[in-house]
Amino acid sequence: MQIYIHIPFCQRKCNYCDFLSAPADGHVMEMYVNALIREIRGRAGSVGREDLVTTLYIGGGTPTTLSAKQLGDIFAAVSQEYRLAADAELTIEVNPKSADRDKLFFLRGNGFNRLSIGMQSMHRGELELLGRIHTPEDFTECFENARHAGFQNISVDVMTAIPGQNEQMLSSTLQSVIALGPEHVSAYSLSIERGTPFYEQFGDIEGPVVGEETERKLYWMTVDMLKMSGYRHYEISNFAKPGYESRHNTGYWKRKHYLGMGLGASSCLPSAGGDERCRNTTNLDTYLANPLSREETTILTRKDMIEETMYLGLRMMDGVDTDAFSDRFGVSVRSIYADVIDDLVAQGLIYEGASSISLTDMGIDYGNYVFAKFLK
């Protein structure tokens, strides 16, 4: 089983962010931590204390907006109530501005073994445009402090297709990241989401702000630079040195069960009628009063699970394991999707191997079109 914990706080909302997060004062954050710990303890009985937790991911928001003690208390509650595997991947997201040297040493000393650092860019102007609170120098200092603290598994977020970004600007950002040598890089294209300052600025546009052609050039330049530097392109937007693929996110793409805790957190858990997908309340006052309250619960049908297996699995460069599919559902992929597979192969969008179905390079560019074909 996997666990995700959501911390919905940040020092300042970024201009592109539509995540469930917002600034808050110390009193609200303390009340939230207390409610979260009640949920951590309250959920333990429902998922089975014998289940082995293989990954824990604390995200947000900005988890490091909380104090070191608060983060330590959260981790202690998880450790007491759930069985963590000896080699569990324990990740926490950090903002370079809110993760100082002492906090990083505290996190490493209290069991966290993987960091995800939200860098986005090494250009001051791009960071200011995005509304980030850190500078390039803050990121470099944070990364070096993390190494000194003993973190040997660090992921760095890079944003592409930023308004005004060109290949030279992105190349210099990637060169700076590659020089530091993180074990993992996540490279995501900016998308304009409703309810964000960028939506007000750029409007309800179709496709990336920089244009489809430029966005694709930036994407494939990122792929080429990282692959040439020893990173394996293992998922559409993710790259890792051998053995450092994100086990937590890979679990999502392979449809492993996970328990989400915190405001608005989602879960996918086994149930008698099929997998149960549920979501915590997104109302902070409701959560503080009753952190075990659910906003919605859905029992996934066999058809739902088959479709998710296909479109999530195709996000990975290894693709969908057709043998594993047959073992899980008792039928072959071809028995359901033969016409779809033949059509997409003919278009050059997917590759059908002996035991897998995966995207071609052109299929990556038309990923949403391919994924939709497997929704019957």
pLDDT per residue over 331-352, tens digit each? Answer: 999 999 999 999 999 999 999 9
Domain annotation covers residue 240: yes
pLDDT confidence of residue 36:
98
- CA-to-CA separations, 57 to 28, 114, 171, 265, in angstroms, rounded: 22, 9, 30, 12
- Asked if pLDDT for residue 13 goes beyond 70, the answer is yes
325 and 217 in a common domain: no
pLDDT band at 50 (very low <50, low <70, confident <90, very high): low
Structural domain total, the chain: 2
Residue 278, domain member (yes or no): no
- Angstrom distance (rounded) from CA 165 to CA 168: 8
In terms of domains, do 19 and 122 share one? Answer: yes
Residue 285 lies in a domain: no
What pLDDT, on a 0 to 100 scale, did the predictor assign at position 49? 61
Pair (227, 351) in one structural domain? no
The CA distance from 146 to 358, in Å, is: 36
Of the three residues 228, 252, 276, the one that is the final residue of a domain is 252
Where residue 81 falls among pLDDT bands split at 50, 70, 90? very high
Residue 193 resides in a domain? yes
Q: Check which CATH number belongs to the domain holding 325 and give it.
A: 1.10.10.920
Considering the domain boundaries, does residue 154 fall inside one?
Answer: yes
- 269-325 pLDDT, tens digit each: 988 777 899 999 999 999 999 999 888 899 999 999 999 999 999 999 999 999 999
The reply to whether 292 falls in a domain is: no
Instruction: Give the range of the structural domain holding residue 26, as residue numbers without chain letter.
Output: 2-252
Q: CB atoms < 10 A from the CB of 144, how many?
A: 13
- Cα–Cα distance for residue pair 238/362, rounded to 1 Å: 17
Task: Tell me whether residue 270 is in a domain.
Answer: no
Q: Is residue 141 part of a domain?
A: yes
- The pTM of the full predicted model, rounded to 2 decimals, is 0.95
Q: In this structure, are 114 and 207 located in the same domain?
A: yes
User: Residue type for 352, please?
Assistant: E
Peptide bond into 61 cis (omega under 30): yes
The model's pLDDT over 163-212, given as tens digits with 9 standing for 90+, comes to 999 999 999 999 999 999 999 999 999 988 888 888 888 877 667 888 89
